[in-house]
Chain A
Amino acid sequence: MLAKLKIALVLLIIGATSGLLIWGANELTVDRIEENRERARLAVYVDMFPNVDLSSMEFESIENSSVVEKITLYDSNGNLLGYALRGVHNNALGFVNVVVGVDRNNNIIDVKITETANTATYVQDLRSDYLPNLKTQDIRNVSYDTSTGATITYNSVRIIIEDAKLLVAGDVILEAYQTVLENAESYEMIFEFSDEAFNTEYIIFDADENRIGYAYHAEIEDKPMALIVDINDVFLGLVGVDHSDLDSAFTAFDNYLNTAIEDITVDVSGSTEEVIGEMFEAVQTLLTETFHAEAPYLVRFSEVFEDDNLVGYAYIGRASGFNGYNIVRVTINLDGELTELETITSRDTPGYYNDVFGNFQDFYGITELEESTAIDVYAGATGSGDSLYRIVSSALNYHNERLGE
């Protein structure tokens, strides 16, 4: 018994002495360690902005965004150097912490992945081969690499950059819309056009997420602008985006305000005005020949004729796949049967997408599509399969609702 007590006493003394020594070392070093950690945390900002005055940095916490902190950086003379935006995004592989450095002219200085639980090899590839491509780009119009081999991590970086854009450059698109639609609160890009006089189509929503209008964007003389109509295709106005100054040319179209776009005959003069007029007429053609589709994942639809006889409707749908949006035209006859599928744009890996698209073409003749049926043909391409299912089922449902009215 005494022997056991002796053992316990010896271990207790050794343990207590160890604890005391460690406590003492901690007291000596805790402040310095904290200072080093803070310096390491700030090192990423110093790396991006070598002239930064660390004592004058302004930190602002951000909510409801993947960007959690916005840091405004100044030099020792108090001049604004730019912004560092620290973002966190959780994807299927874990968290990704990113810092985006933007100078005061909205150019990206650098994008760094500071910490992540994603696969180290892929992250290293991004750091060395793809993130440097983002440097010097205008954050308001970033061109992303389409194939990086690290899609999930790169998507997280892209989400953070897009949120950073709104905080740094301001939501210039929403500001433009609000000059014409005061109650505009949000928007969504629903279509990109490759061979038209305008390049993108947006839906504009109010605070309750009701559609209140549509916008068609173009670049006239390298200046971004938008043509805005309400939900009934009444022309509401032309606006310059990001403070581009085309107002003097826009005045030529003031006579057409609050007129249904299909009733407008464009007659303007002046070189800039005529270019805008061509864009106007292209939008007019689109809105005359097609109709807005007010259903999830559907953009618009048009009538399909054979020998001047209406035989069905073609619905253009857009849904996110694995790498980005897929846009598909779904043709349905008057009996509600699926007759044709055509891919307009796909951002998914062709090998995977084409396999599952081919399987969906076996559904010709159906009038509705259950998810349990569709899932059988995903062929290991869940992202692509999901996007096709959403588009096709939405088109079939919307078609049946419309023709049932």
Chain B
Amino acid sequence: MAKPVKKNTKELTRLQNLTKGFIKENPIFVFLLGMCPALAVTSTLETSFGMGLLVIFVLVLSNVVVSLIKDLIPREVKIPAYIVIISTFVTIVGMLTEAFAPLLFESLGIFIPLIVVNCLILGRAESYASKNGVINSAIDGLGMALGFMFALMAIGLVREFMATGAIAYGVYLPIGVEGSIVNLDTYLFSIAVFSGPAGGFIVIGTLLAIHNSIQISKQKKADLARQRLIEEKKRIALERKQQKEMESAGGNA
């Protein structure tokens, strides 16, 4: 009789693949990848959003291409090949940004070409796209990049608000209107340190601490629930055993 094939219970659904990068495997708050742009471009919400869009473009496309040609690339040169692919898309996205969003291009500056060496992108190419199909790789790239973007935006939101008392839009992105979502009187609320590197560290550290404490708390609850389940099962098993013993003792009598 053939042994039944054990189903891989850890295989994710496509939805889970998409959303895993939002919280559970967030590139910034869990894996601590891409910390350089996380500090450098998150002085405003809009630049954070802009960088996030660029990373989505690069990560999705590079994952797709790597997945498409993964069987053609010899093992010895796979990393250089991945880097060429990633840098091609970074160059293209740089040109598109300079052409259609020049203010964003100027604001992001050197951090656009530095997307090439963002560990997130090479890491996903190596660890996922080179081992999975095209659709799943695309979804993985999209999910991780969205998680990266949301993390950047969370940092940018806090930093811009703390530094200026306002959240502006339309300044860097060509959306046709310019204004602010919130705008407190800056004489009352403006802590300039948050617009600088020190403020970036403070905000990232704080958000990391909040994220980790929530995860730890969830993990503790899950552990507690599992512990209770195990104890309940033990108790039920013991009761059954005792009942059987009583029944067999009654039968003998």
Chain A residues proximal to chain B, CB less than 8 Å: 3, 6-7, 10-11, 14-15, 17-18, 21-22, 25-26, 28-29, 32-33, 36, 39-40
Known: A29-B95, A32-B99. A10 touches B88 (CB 8 A): no
> What size tier do the contact residues of chain B reach?
20 to 34
A36 to B102, CA, bound (A): 7
| B73, closest chain A residue (CB) | A10
Query: Which residue of chain A is the closest to B69 with respect to CB atoms?
Result: A14
Q: Would B85 and A7 count as touching, CB distance under 8 A?
A: no
Say whether, besides A14-B85, A36-B102, A40-B102, A25 and B77 are in contact (CB < 8 Å). no
**Shortest beta-carbon distance from A23 to chain B in Å:** 10
- Chosen A-B contacts, 20 in total, with CB atoms closer than 8 Å, are A7-B76, A14-B84, A14-B85, A18-B84, A18-B85, A18-B87, A21-B92, A22-B92, A25-B91, A25-B95, A25-B96, A26-B95, A28-B95, A28-B99, A29-B95, A29-B99, A32-B100, A33-B95, A36-B98, A40-B102
- Point out the residue from A7, A22, A25, A29 that lies within 8 Å of B74, measured CB to CB: A7
- Chain B residues with Cβ below 8 Å from A39 are 102
Q: Which residues of A contact B72 (CB under 8 A)?
A: 10
In the complex, A28 Cα to B88 Cα: how many Å? 15
Residue numbers in B under 8 Å from A25 (CB-CB): 91-92, 95-96
Within 8 A of A (CB), among B69-87: 69, 72-74, 76-77, 80-81, 84-85, 87
Q: Mark B79-115, 1 if CB is under 8 A from A, else 0.
A: 0110011011001100110111010001000000000
Q: Quote the shortest CB–CB distance from A104 to chain B (angstroms).
A: 32
Give 10 closest A-B pairs by Cβ, nearest first.
Answer: A29-B99, A18-B88, A32-B99, A36-B102, A25-B92, A29-B95, A25-B95, A7-B74, A33-B98, A33-B99
Residues of A within 8 A of B73 (CB): 10, 14
Contacts of A3 in B (CB 8 A): 74
Closest to B78 in A: A10
| Contact yes or no, A29 B96, CB < 8 A | yes
Of B76, B81, B88, B106, the contact of A22 (CB 8 Å cutoff): B88
Query: Is B102's CB under 8 angstroms from A11's CB?
Result: no
- The answer to whether residues A10 and B74 also contact, given A18-B84, A29-B99, A32-B100 and a CB cut-off of 8 A, is yes
Complex Cα–Cα for A22 and B86 (A): 12
A38 and B100 CA atoms in complex are apart in Å by 14
User: Which residue in B80, B88, B92 is a CB contact (below 8 Å) of A11?
Assistant: B80
Besides the known contacts A14-B69, A18-B84, 12 further A-B residue pairs in the complex with CB atoms under 8 A apart? A10-B72, A10-B73, A10-B77, A11-B81, A14-B84, A14-B85, A15-B84, A18-B85, A18-B88, A22-B91, A28-B95, A29-B96
Query: B101 — nearest CB in chain A belongs to which residue?
Result: A36
Q: Is the CB–CB distance between B77 and A7 below 8 Å?
A: yes
- A218–B74 alpha-carbon span in the complex (Å): 86
A11 to B92, CA, bound (A): 19
What are the residues of chain B within 8 A of A33 when measuring CB–CB? 95, 98-99
Q: Which residue of B lies closest to A13 (CB)?
A: B72
B83 nearest CB across to chain A (Å): 10
Closest to B100 in A: A32
Kindly state the separation between the CA atoms of A33 and B102 in the bound complex, as whole angstroms. Answer: 8
Give every chain B residue within 8 A of A22 (Cβ-Cβ): 88, 91-92, 95
| Nearest neighbor of A40 in chain B, beta-carbon distance | B102
Considering residues B99, B100, B106, which has the most beta carbons from chain A within 10 angstroms of its beta carbon? B99
B91 cross-chain contacts in A, Cβ below 8 A: 22, 25
Min distance, Cβ A15 to any Cβ of chain B, angstroms: 6
In contact, B99 and A14 (Cβ under 8 angstroms) = no
B85, A10: Cβ atoms closer than 8 Å: no
Provide the residues of chain A in CB contact with B106, threshold 8 Å: 40
Chain A residues near B84 (CB-CB < 8 A): 11, 14-15, 18
Query: In the complex, what residues of B have CB within 8 A of residue A40's CB?
Result: 102, 106
Assess whether B81 is in contact with A10, with CB atoms less than 8 Å apart: yes
A145 to B60, CA, bound (A): 56
A-side contacts of B99, CB under 8 Å: 28-29, 32-33, 36
Task: List residues of chain A with CB within 8 A of the CB of B80.
Answer: 11
Let me know if B96 and A11 touch, CB within 8 A.
Answer: no
Considering only CB atoms, which chain B residue lies closest to A35 in the complex? B99
Closest residue to B81 on the A side, CB-wise?
A14
Task: Tell me, rounded to whole Å, the shortest Cβ–Cβ distance linking A35 to chain B.
Answer: 9
Chain B residue at smallest Cβ distance from A20 = B88
What's the minimum C-beta distance from A124 to chain B, rounded to whole angstroms?
13
Please name all residues of chain B whose beta carbon is closer than 8 Å to the beta carbon of A32 when the two chains form the complex. 99-100
In Å, the complex CA distance between A159 and B80 comes to 52
Task: Name the CB-closest residue of A to B91.
Answer: A22
| Interface members, chain B 146-192 (any A CB < 8 Å) | none
Once the chains bind, are B74 and A6 in contact (CB under 8 Å)?
yes
Cβ of B70 to closest chain A Cβ, rounded Å: 12
**CA A28 – CA B251 in complex, angstroms?**
91
- Contacts A25-B92, A32-B100; is A11 near B85 (CB within 8 Å)? no
In the assembled complex, which residues on chain B have CB atoms less than 8 Å from the CB atom of A28?
95, 99
> Closest chain B residue to A19 by CB distance?
B88
Using CB atoms, name the residue of chain A closest to B75: A7
Q: What CA separation (Å) do A21 and B93 show in the bound complex? A: 11
Q: For the complex, what is the distance from the CA of A39 to the CA of B76, rounded to whole Å?
A: 47
The CA-CA distance from A266 to B106 in the complex, in Å, is: 68
Residue numbers in A under 8 Å from B100 (CB-CB): 32
Query: Which residue, of A14, A29, A33, A40, has the highest number of chain B Cβ atoms within 10 A?
Result: A14
In B41-92, which residues have CB < 8 Å from any A CB?
69, 72-74, 76-77, 80-81, 84-85, 87-88, 91-92
A22 and B72 CA atoms in complex are apart in Å by 22
A164 nearest CB across to chain B (Å): 27
Question: B102's closest neighbor in chain A, by CB?
Answer: A36
Q: Which chain A residues border B96 with CB–CB below 8 Å?
A: 25, 29
Minimum CB–CB distance from B168 to chain A (whole Å) comes to 19
Q: Which residues of A contact B69 (CB under 8 A)?
A: 14
Contact of B88 among A7, A21, A29, A36 (CB under 8 A): A21
Chain B neighbourhood of A17, CB < 8 A: 88
Within 8 A of A (CB), among B12-27: none
- One digit per residue, 1 when the CB lies within 8 angstroms of any chain A CB and 0 when it does not, for chain B 217-243 equals 000000000000000000000000000
